[in-house]
Copies of this chain bind each other. A is one copy, B any other.
């Protein structure tokens, strides 16, 4: 197929490398001023991979859109709305878009497929690509399992049929809402995990996994999704990469934050936690772990106190 990838950060450039490896005609787009783009243009490599010459590079969005049947988007979640507005000014009817990032709109709590479709007034299909996987592993052919989800099973299958391989084995998702919320929320659990690591309480990450899945499952259920989706690859299945891996941006951010160490920029989970608290209020669902992470990052509360309070509340029944 003809595939354009919009966004040439770590994940976008990997997607182009991977789609090319599966035999597709691939174009990778980056913003003109983007450092990632300039580096790829000059060296055709980044810290993770070398781009084969058969992958076209462009900073011309019109060209990238014109070529593609399938468009992967891998930009910052908070920039999706303005980017979608820009795409809507182009001729995109009947194309299929795959959102390859994990997040929620910070100001509204809105899911990314909703944000996207609110800005697109043309008939397009939209899907998401979520689940675990390190670029570092995939480029060495170390396999993993991921999920494609959309509201249209034919679109889901089209993407899986064209992109599945021995390296990435896809499952068909069947709960777009649950997978979007779950994939976004795992970044917040990742920050909490980093905070526990930073405070010397790594062994509480077991309880964090059990309690974290439970609160996100409650939210998904209240929103009309399937609570069991949270225990699938999109959320729990991504905990290895997010809660335990030294590569995880969100975990590392949480750890640096509680140790008062410098961090490059806010992790995506710092925006997502604000969105989740909007949803918590909207759907009247308590999210104690998200609340604690929010209070530490955004309200300058003491991390040790908040996290100990969280796990060491008075005795109670586990199911509540």
Contact = CB atoms under 8 A, between A and B. Distances in A.
Contact of A317 (B142, B172, B204, B238): B172
Given A164-B315, A209-B239, 4 more contacts: A133-B203, A169-B315, A172-B315, A210-B237
Given A143-B312, A213-B231, A214-B231, A203 B134 contact: yes
A311 interface: yes
Considering residues A144, A238, A240, A241, which has the most beta carbons from chain B within 10 angstroms of its beta carbon?
A: A240
Interface string A216-247: 00000000001010011100111111001100
Interface of A: 132-134, 137, 142-145, 147, 160, 164, 166, 169-174, 200-211, 213-214, 226, 228, 231-233, 236-241, 244-245, 308, 311-313, 315-319
Given A210-B237, A244-B244, A315-B170, A200 B231 contact: no
Nearest to A170: B315
Nearest to A247: B203
A308 B167 CA distance: 10
Contacts of A226: 319
A202 to B, nearest CB: 7
Q: Quickly give the copy total for this chain.
A: 2
A233 B206 contact: yes
Contacts of A137: 203
Q: Which 4 A-B pairs have the closest CB atoms?
A: A206-B240, A210-B237, A132-B206, A171-B318
A257 to B, nearest CB: 20
Given A244-B244, A312-B169, A206 B317 contact: no
Contacts of A142: 200-201, 203
Contacts of A240: 202-206, 208-209
A255 to B, nearest CB: 16
Contact of A206 (B169, B172, B238): B238
A168 B208 CA distance: 15
